[in-house]
C-alpha cells in the first residue's frame, strides 16, 4: 500500500488553506509551526517552544528551572569534553573531523550529505570519525556518545537550528520519508507521532503532558529522571515506538535519521538548548 504524502499530511496540509500537491518543506514548516502557535496562544514568545513541554506548563517549569540550576547532565558535559579532546591512538581527535573543530555546530545537524546521498546526524558523524581513525564506535543510545553529543550541543547553545534541504531529489526524498514516518500510524495501539505530539499535544497521557514536536530536537541529549542517565534522541524515539507497542527501529538507521531530519527541519529557527533535563 502506498500512501501519498498528501494523505499523510492531511492534518498539516489541511492547515495550509488551498494546499496544493506542491507543498514543499518550507510550506510544511510554516504550517507545522502555525499549528502550534494557534494551539498554544499563551506561548506569546514563540522562541520559548525550545523549552519543550515546559513552555506550556508554568508549574512544571518552575521545578524544571530549579533542576536546571544544578543540572543532572553536568557530568555528561564534562565527560563529553574530556572524550572530545582526548587524542585517538593515531594522534588525531574528534575536532579534526568537524567544521570549526566541532565547536558551536550542533545547529547544523542533521544535514543531507550530497556526496553520500544520505542524512548524517551528529551522533553518526561522531562515531564515523572514531571508526575512520581506527577507534571503536560508541554504543548509540547512551553513555560516551551521549556525553560527547552533550558537550557539542553545549558549545552550540543559543545557536538557531539551521537544517537545510539542499536542491537534490534524494534530500527531498529523505525529508519526505521522515515526514511520512511522522504521520504514519504504528504499533498495536495504532498511533502516529502526530496523534500524540500534534493533535494530542498539551493533553495528558497517564501522568505526562504530551509535548509539541515543534521544539522536539532542541534539548537533546537529555537526562531523564526515568532513565537516571543521559539518552540520545534516537533512544527517545525508540521509547515512543515501544510505548505504542511498535517495534523500534535501529538507532541511527535510515528511518530514525530521516525522521530526525524532518523533526529538526520543522524546528528550524529555535535555539539549541541541549543538553537538558526531562522527567
Ligand atoms: C502514544 C503517544 C505517543 C506517540 C505515538 C509518540 N510519543 Fe513521543 N512521547 C510521548 C510521551 C508520553 C512522552 C513524554 C512526555 C513528552 O515530553 O511528550 C514523549 C516524549 C517524546 C519526546 C521527548 C520530548 C522531550 O522534550 O523530552 C520526543 C522527541 C518524542 N516523544 C518524539 C516522538 C516521535 C518522533 C514519535 C513518532 C515516532 C513519537 N514521539 C510517538 C508519547 C508518544
Q: In this predicted model, what pLDDT tens digit does every residue of 247-258 receive, in sequence order?
A: 999 999 999 999
Does ligand 1 come within 6 angstroms of the Cβ of 121? no
Per-residue model confidence as pLDDT tens digits over 219-265:
999 999 999 999 999 999 999 999 999 999 999 999 999 999 999 99
- Ligand 1 center–CA 210 separation, angstroms: 7
Does ligand 1 come within 6 angstroms of the Cβ of 243? yes
Does ligand 1 come within 6 angstroms of the Cβ of 68? no
Does ligand 1 come within 6 angstroms of the Cβ of 240? yes
* 97 annotated active-site: no
Report percent pLDDT > 70 for the chain: 92
**For atom 13 of ligand 1, which residue has the closest CA?**
210
- Ligand 1 center–CA 202 separation, angstroms: 12
Q: What is the mean pLDDT of residues 43-60?
A: 97
Instruction: Report CA torsion sign: 247, 252, 255, 260.
Output: positive
Enumerate residues 6+ apart whose C-beta is below 8 A from 224. 231, 277, 278, 279
**For atom 3 of ligand 1, which residue has the closest CA?**
196
Query: Cα(156)–Cα(278) distance, rounded to whole angstroms?
Result: 19
C-alpha cell at 12: 498539516
Q: Are the C-beta atoms of residues 191 and 244 closer than 8 Å to each other?
A: yes
What number of other Cβ atoms are within 10 A of residue 190's Cβ?
A: 11
Per-residue model confidence as pLDDT tens digits over 96-124:
999 999 999 999 999 999 999 999 999 99
Q: Are the C-beta atoms of residues 133 and 165 closer than 8 Å to each other?
A: no
Average pLDDT, the chain: 93
**For atom 34 of ligand 1, which residue has the closest CA?**
193
Q: Give pLDDT, residue 75.
A: 97
Enumerate residues 6+ apart whose C-beta is below 8 A from 209. 53, 56, 57, 60, 202, 203
Query: Cα(46)–Cα(270) distance, rounded to whole angstroms?
Result: 9
User: CA angle, 20 as apex, 164 and 33 as ends, to 5°?
Assistant: 50
Q: Give pLDDT, residue 22.
A: 56
Q: Are the C-beta atoms of residues 115 and 171 closer than 8 Å to each other?
A: no
Does ligand 1 come within 6 angstroms of the Cβ of 224? no
- Ligand 1 center–CA 195 separation, angstroms: 10
What are the phi and psi torsion angles at 213 (to 5°)? -75, -20
- Ligand 1 center–CA 246 separation, angstroms: 13
What number of other Cβ atoms are within 10 A of residue 181's Cβ?
A: 20
CA 153 to chain CA centroid, nearest Å: 12
Does ligand 1 come within 6 angstroms of the Cβ of 248? no
pLDDT confidence band for 2 (50 / 70 / 90): very low
Q: Are the C-beta atoms of residues 271 and 153 closer than 8 Å to each other?
A: no
C-alpha cell at 197: 505530539
- Please identify which of the residues 129, 193, 196, 240 carries the catalytic annotation: 240
**For atom 17 of ligand 1, which residue has the closest CA?**
211
Amino acid at each position: 500500500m502506498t500512501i501519498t504524502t498528501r494523505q499523510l499530511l492531511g492534518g498539516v496540509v489541511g492547515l495550509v488553506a488551498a494546499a496544493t500537491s506542491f507543498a514543499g518543506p518550507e510550506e510544511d514548516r510554516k504550517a507545522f509551526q502555525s499549528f502550534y502557535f494557534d494551539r498554544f496562544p499563551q506561548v506569546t514568545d514563540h522562541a520559548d517552544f525550545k523549552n519543550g513541554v515546559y513552555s506550556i506548563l508554568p508549574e512544571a517549569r518552575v521545578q524544571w528551572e530549579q533542576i536546571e540550576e544544578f543540572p543532572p547532565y553536568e557530568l555528561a558535559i564534562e565527560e563529553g569534553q574530556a572524550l572530545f579532546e582526548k587524542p585517538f591512538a593515531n594522534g588525531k581527535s574528534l575536532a579534526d573531523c568537524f567544521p570549526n573543530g566541532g565547536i558551536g555546530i550542533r545547529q547544523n545537524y542533521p544535514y543531507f550529505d550530497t556526496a553520500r546521498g544520505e542524512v548524517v546526524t551528529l551522533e553518526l558523524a561522531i562515531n564515523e570519525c572514531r571508526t575512520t581513525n581506527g577507534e571503536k564506535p560508541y554504543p548509540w543510545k547512551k553513555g560516551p556518545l551521549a556525553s560527547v553529543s552533550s558537550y557539542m550541543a553545549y558549545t552550540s547553545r543559543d545557536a538557531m537550528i539551521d537544517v537545510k534541504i539542499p536542491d537534490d531529489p534524494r534530500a527531498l526524498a529523505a525529508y519526505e520519508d521522515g515526514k511520512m514516518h511522522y504521520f504514519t500510524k504504528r504499533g498495536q495501539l495504532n498511533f502516529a507521532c502526530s496523534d500524540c505530539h500534534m493533535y494530542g499535544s498539551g493533553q495528558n497521557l497517564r501522568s505526562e503532558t504530551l509535548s509539541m514536536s515543534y521544539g522536539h530536537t532542541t534539548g537533546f541529549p537529555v537526562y531523564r529522571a526515568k532513565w537516571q542517565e543521559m539518552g540520545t534522541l534516537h533512544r527517545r524515539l525508540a521509547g515512543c515506538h515501544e510505548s505504542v507497542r511498535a517495534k523500534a527501529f535501529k538507532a541511527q538507521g535510515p528511518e530514525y535519521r530521516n525522521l530526525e531530519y524532518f523533526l529538526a527541519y520543522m524546528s528550524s529557527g529555535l535555539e539549541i538548548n541541549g543538553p537538558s533535563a526531562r522527567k
